[in-house]
Amino acid sequence: MLRYTLITGASSGIGLALAEAFAARGDALLLVARRADALARVAEDLQRRYDAVVELRACDLADAAQLDAFCEEIAGGAYEIGTLVNNAGFATSGAFVDNEWDDEREMIRVNITALAQLCHVVGRRMAAAGHGQILNVSSISGMMPGPWMANYAAAKAYVLSLSEGLREELAPRGVKVSVLCPGTTRSPFFERAGIDLAKLEKEALVMTPEAVARITVGALERDVAIIVPRWYNKLLAISPRLGPRWLLRKVVGSLYKGVARPAAH
Ligand SMILES: NC(=O)c1ccc[n+]([C@@H]2O[C@H](COP(=O)([O-])OP(=O)(O)OC[C@H]3O[C@@H](n4cnc5c(N)ncnc54)[C@H](OP(=O)(O)O)[C@@H]3O)[C@@H](O)[C@H]2O)c1
């Protein structure tokens, strides 16, 4: 049976670049996102350029019924998964209480619930087989409080903590777990979050998804626990340890407030 690399959120940005990097390595891919047409274009391109085996699964990970159905297929052995990449995610920005609860809840469902459920179902099968690798995508934002992106930063802190916990639990059972914490990366992410990337670019160094993917695949081969691409993001990652917490909240808050979606009312 073919062993797949399952990548969620493979229709654009970092997930798409990771799909290409894994295809270049010769992996068979199982790509997941909501937009079937975008996934089909990705598959066609990877088949043509890398002769890759690509399976597609259109699934809204925020929809509990669709997520459950997909997880049941995996639990039933429909696919053997050698590598799981939990990349799908999006951000809400602006003041939490002014945003619509439906949007904040959808963010929790995609960034937390779906990621945890896939770690559970796939991780259990990997542990039974005695091998496998899981990569969860967090963010530099998950390493610090994030006023004006409070729920997103909290969700990414969850991803970081879950991944580190699972790494220790699953290592003796032959399963490697890593977490990717990218800094600002050029992708459609910012448009969906209502963030003006042009403003952020003045203040931060921006990576391409392809550079993030290249560094990540290399780091996975070395089983790096927490992958932070590029030195300037590594500096940001240690910044919470350099000063008092109140100062960190003020600095991050003023950065995010300047770029976040303005309040609707
Ligand atoms: N860009 C950055 O600066 C940055 C920095 C740190 C961390 N990250 C993280 O990196 C990951 C990828 O983000 P990106 O920058 O590549 O953004 P992106 O280009 O907007 O990609 C997000 C992906 O997630 C999928 N997705 C979103 N909602 C979904 C849902 N309900 N069900 C299934 N798939 C869904 C999207 O596909 P469909 O729209 O087709 O469903 C898309 O493929 C995210 O977890 C993000 O939080 C990004």
66-77 pLDDT per residue, tens = 999 999 999 999
pLDDT of residue 204: 66
pLDDT of residue 199: 78
Residue located nearest, by CA, to atom 36 of ligand 1 = 9
8 Å CB contact between 167 and 263: no
Expressed as residue numbers, the domain containing 199 is 3-259
Q: Which residue has the tokens 């990366």?
A: 185
Distance 139 CA to ligand 1 centre (A): 12
Question: What's the pTM?
Answer: 0.97
Q: Is 13 near ligand 1, meaning CB less than 6 Å away?
A: yes
Counting the structural domains of the chain, the total is 1
**Alpha helix segments (H runs only) across the chain:** 13-25, 36-50, 64-75, 101-108, 115-129, 150-170, 189-193, 197-201, 209-221, 231-238, 245-259
pLDDT of residue 197: 81
Distance 184 CA to ligand 1 centre (A): 13
pLDDT of residue 262: 78
Whether 37 is covered by a domain: the verdict is yes
pLDDT of residue 202: 67
Distance 108 CA to ligand 1 centre (A): 13
Whether 112 is covered by a domain: the verdict is yes
Whether 190 is covered by a domain: the verdict is yes
Whether 265 is covered by a domain: the verdict is no
Tell me the CA distances in angstroms from 246 to 145, 146, 242, one per residue in order: 10, 12, 12
Whether 236 is covered by a domain: the verdict is yes
Whether 264 is covered by a domain: the verdict is no
- Contact residues for 13 (Cβ-Cβ < 8 A; gap 6+): 185, 187, 188, 189, 209
Q: Is 237 near ligand 1, meaning CB less than 6 Å away?
A: no
Q: Average pLDDT over the chain, rounded to whole?
A: 96
Residue located nearest, by CA, to atom 43 of ligand 1 = 9
Ligand 1 closest atom vs CA 88: 24
8 Å CB contact between 190 and 196: yes
Q: Is 39 near ligand 1, meaning CB less than 6 Å away?
A: no
pLDDT of residue 175: 98
CATH of the domain at 242: 3.40.50.720
Residues of the chain with pLDDT under 50: none
